[in-house]
């Protein structure tokens, strides 16, 4: 064998070894995520078994019957009503309180606005001694202390900003003299103040530390979206105060975060209360985002002005500080009262904007993620994401700031594939950062999966009915699958060639190259479709992202992924989901379709006009009972007036559309007589599917 041949073979083997290593790495990653999903599913199964298939409560809570009778029942009822002014408990609150009162450690996962505070504040009032509450943000703490003081509960905070109370607090902890029931601290106090910890130790020694509550507990976990290193030090609490019950509370925690929390806080025998992540009053929607910035702002402004003309509050989330300022300015130019909020502003300026918004002097806050925890405004009617969030958790949390009062509210996410690399260059160094980002990208790309069910899937929760409260379920739109294997193959070869020449390509550059090259294939994809294809290939690991740091930024490049060979060898076909007809902005087309099938000539403009003028600004409380729908279906309206009369309280376009969607379902019956309809409706109601409650 010639030397040259040996060298060449050696080189080939080297390349192949690298390739195999890449594949092994990818397979290990896949194996890890499968293990994780397996443990999540096993946990759900366990929870379902123990709670007799009831979705809402997690395992141990059900087994120990925390809803039975307890000796503190009447005192607790008295405090609930006469101190907190709350007439009845919400789901799980009483059970959680009973578990804490029984001295157990408790993990509470309850959606935003679900009423977590009462769960630890009420036992804090009932139990002798002082309750310690660890909370991550000063503004949150201030709110809570103000609220409790107003209720006549002696609550204080020990932070660097209120040195005045420090002396009193330390004396009370040490000697038990002053009146103090609930003490709020930030996690830094636990990790950094030896003095505080020694006073707390004395308080505990004298038997006066009643419970420890850890708010926003997901901050403890490396996998939590708001991970805070100081929360790590909280592991000391159980070691130092083993018999004091710890209650950890959060709005979002995947199975992995839950396990992490339990381990970190040393509470392996805690009672878990996992309430559903479902927020039935929130309408979720993903909107295609134009690549022209002005068009996006026009759409957002139009949406706000049409749907919320009476200054109803909203939030617009943006990617960067600069973008926040720009979007706020452009919204103002379009007549919307908006201002920005981000971490670069000084505290006073931020506080001022927050206050104006809280007092309804400002309609829209345009914020970065810095406008986050501690937003307690209950009547936020819409949360719009101008840019992609970095994970499903973050999106759930941010969009969840809408509708904490339980009234119908909307969550819109503007998505275009080009936003993904912007985020990935920010998150790639985080634990599972890319994986988390790809989860939300998958959510945005989906054209068939109910948005709500995507959340259930993500948080490993059994499915629940969406009731037409997401764009996928509310608007009917034809989606077809297009085979783009040829384009995928071309893309991979293009990248391979570039890599061989030591060239890199951003998503944008790759799209440009594809636009030219795809002509050879004889079938051309649009720019947006090529972008979508790139994302699909990234999600399936046929492609991967690589990052390069410059002194100013980190750039994301698209490279050939570990499984790309399968595409080149034609072992995998690639399909894109494409709408066969453009979804109309608000689903009127779906109404048209549904009414069309009944023979009703839909006067689209008339209906639109009527519906928008009927929108009185007050949030819709359209009521259309199942009986009314049955009636409607059996009467087959054949004029617009008749339809409107039947629908009666139709107030807004979007609610109108929901109702029409329901009608559509009923028309699918093609019923012959009323009895038949009643029987079928009863059957549906029995299976709890398609239950229409719009109130």
Site residues, ligand ATP (CB under 6 A): 86, 89-90, 93, 110, 112-118, 251, 404
- Please give the helix or strand (H or E) that residue 132 lies within, else none: strand 130-134
Compare residues 113 and 187 and give the one whose CB is closer to ligand ATP. 113
> Shortest distance, CB of residue 187 to ligand ATP, whole angstroms?
17
Q: Give alpha helix (H) positions in 308-391.
A: 321-333, 347-358
Q: Tell me the DSSP string of 269-318.
A: TPEEEE-----TTEEEEEEEPPSSHHHHHHHHHHHHHHH-TT--EEEEE-
- The residue (of 95 and 545) whose beta carbon lies closer to ligand ATP is 95
The CB-of-652 to ligand ATP minimum distance in angstroms stands at 25
Nearer to ligand ATP, 90 or 422 (CB): 90
Q: Smallest gap, in angstroms, from Cβ of residue 115 to ligand ATP? A: 3
212 versus 663: smaller Cβ distance to ligand ATP: 212
- Smallest distance, Å, CB 405 to ligand ATP? 8
- In angstroms, the CA 417 to CA 361 distance is 35
HEC states along 455-480?
Answer: HHHHCCCCCCCCCCCEHHHHCCCCEE
Q: How far is the CB of 327 from ligand ATP (least distance, A)?
A: 24
* DSSP-assigned letter for residue 505: B
Q: CB neighbours of 557 closer than 8 A, spacing ≥ 6?
A: 504, 505, 506, 545, 546, 547, 548
Of residues 215 and 471, the one with the C-beta less far from ligand ATP: 215
Residue nearest to ligand ATP (CB): 115
Tokens describing residue 94: 């009483």
Please report how many Cα atoms fall inside a 13 Å half-sphere around the Cα of residue 645, on the Cβ side.
Answer: 9
Residues 6+ apart with CB under 8 A from 66: 94, 95, 96, 98, 99, 271
C-beta closer to ligand ATP: residue 372 or 671: 372
Burial class (CB in 10 A: 0-12, 13-18, 19+), 526: exposed
Min dist CB 254 to ligand ATP, Å, is 16
Select 114 or 421, whichever has its Cβ closest to ligand ATP: 114
Nearest-approach distance from CB 175 to ligand ATP, in angstroms:
32
Please tell me whether residue 405 adopts helix, strand or coil conformation.
Answer: coil
Select 314 or 418, whichever has its Cβ closest to ligand ATP: 314
The answer to whether 451 touches 471, Cβ cutoff 8 Å, is: yes
Nearer to ligand ATP, 44 or 119 (CB): 119
Q: Report the nearest approach of ligand ATP to the CB of residue 373 (Å).
A: 8
Tokens of 330: 């452009």
Nearest to 255 by CA among 518, 4, 461: 461
Q: Of 105, 406, 410, 428, which is closest to residue 242 (Cα–Cα)?
A: 105
Q: How far is CA 474 from the centre of its chain?
A: 19
H helices within 339-484, ranges in order? 347-358, 392-399, 419-427, 433-445, 451-458, 471-474
Nearer to ligand ATP, 67 or 584 (CB): 67
């Amino acid at each position: 064998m010639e030397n040259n041949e040996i060298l060449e073979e050696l080189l080939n083997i080297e390349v192949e070894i690298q390739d195999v290593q890449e594949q092994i790495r990818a397979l290990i990653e896949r194996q890890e995520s499968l293990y994780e999903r397996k443990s999540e599913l096993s946990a759900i199964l366990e929870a379902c078994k123990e709670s007799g298939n009831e979705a809402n409560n997690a395992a141990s809570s059900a087994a120990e019957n925390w809803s039975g009778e307890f000796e503190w029942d009447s005192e607790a009822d008295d405090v609930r009503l006469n101190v907190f002014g709350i007439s009845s408990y919400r789901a799980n609150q009483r059970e959680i309180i009973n578990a804490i009162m029984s001295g157990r450690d408790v993990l509470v996962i309850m959606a935003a606005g679900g009423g977590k505070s009462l769960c630890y504040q009420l036992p804090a009032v009932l139990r002798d001694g002082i309750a310690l509450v660890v909370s991550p943000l000063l503004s949150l703490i201030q709110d809570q202390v103000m609220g409790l003081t107003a209720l006549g509960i002696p609550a204080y905070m020990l932070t660097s900003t209120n040195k005045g109370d420090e002396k009193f607090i330390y004396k009370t902890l040490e000697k038990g003299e002053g009146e103090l029931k609930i003490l709020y601290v930030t996690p830094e106090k636990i990790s950094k103040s030896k003095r505080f910890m020694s006073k707390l130790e004395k308080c505990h020694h004298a038997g006066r530390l009643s419970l420890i509550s850890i708010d926003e507990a997901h901050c403890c976990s490396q996998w939590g979206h708001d991970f805070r290193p100081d929360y790590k030090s909280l592991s000391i609490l159980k070691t130092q105060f083993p018999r004091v019950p710890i209650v950890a509370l959060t709005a979002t925690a995947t199975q992995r975060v839950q396990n992490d929390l339990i381990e970190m806080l040393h509470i392996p025998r805690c009672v878990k209360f996992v309430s559903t992540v479902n927020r039935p009053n929130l309408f979720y929607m993903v909107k295609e985002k134009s690549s022209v910035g002005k068009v996006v702002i026009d759409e957002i402004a139009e949406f706000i002005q049409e749907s919320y003309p009476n200054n109803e509050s909203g939030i617009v989330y943006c990617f960067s500080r600069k973008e926040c300022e720009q979007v706020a300015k452009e919204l103002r130019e379009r007549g919307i009262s908006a201002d920005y909020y981000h971490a670069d502003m000084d505290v006073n300026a931020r506080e001022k904007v927050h206050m104006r918004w809280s007092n309804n002097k400002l309609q829209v806050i345009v914020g970065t993620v810095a406008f986050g925890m501690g937003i307690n405004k209950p009547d936020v009617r819409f949360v719009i994401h101008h840019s992609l969030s970095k994970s499903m958790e973050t999106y759930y949390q941010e969009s969840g700031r809408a509708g904490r009062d339980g009234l119908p509210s909307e969550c819109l996410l503007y998505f275009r594939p080009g936003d993904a690399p912007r985020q990935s260059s920010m998150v790639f160094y985080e634990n599972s950062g890319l994986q988390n980002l790809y989860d939300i990208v998958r959510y945005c790309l989906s054209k068939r999966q109910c948005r709500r069910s995507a959340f259930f899937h993500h948080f490993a929760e059994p499915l629940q009915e969406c009731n037409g409260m997401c764009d996928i379920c509310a608007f009917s739109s034809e989606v077809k699958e297009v085979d783009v294997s040829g384009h995928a193959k071309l893309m991979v070869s293009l990248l391979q060639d570039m890599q061989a020449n030591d060239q890199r390509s951003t998503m944008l550059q790759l799209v440009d190259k594809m636009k030219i090259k795809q002509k050879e294939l004889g079938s051309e994809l649009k720019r947006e479709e090529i972008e979508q294809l790139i994302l699909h290939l990234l999600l399936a690991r046929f492609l991967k992202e690589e990052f390069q740091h410059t002194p100013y930024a980190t750039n994301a490049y698209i490279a050939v992924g570990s499984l790309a060979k399968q595409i080149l060898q034609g072992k995998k076909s690639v399909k894109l989901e494409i709408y066969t007809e453009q979804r109309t902005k608000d689903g009127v087309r779906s109404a048209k379709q549904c009414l069309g099938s009944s023979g009703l000539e839909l006067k689209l403009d008339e209906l639109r006009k009527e519906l928008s003028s009927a929108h009185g600004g007050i949030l819709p409380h359209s009521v259309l009972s199942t009986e009314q729908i049955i009636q409607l279906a059996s009467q087959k309206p054949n004029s617009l007036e008749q339809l409107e009369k039947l629908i009666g309280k139709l107030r807004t376009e979007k609610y109108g559309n929901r109702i029409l969607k329901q009608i559509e379902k009923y028309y699918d019956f093609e019923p012959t007589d009323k009895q038949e309809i009643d029987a079928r409706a009863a059957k549906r109601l029995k299976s709890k599917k398609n239950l229409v409650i719009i109130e």
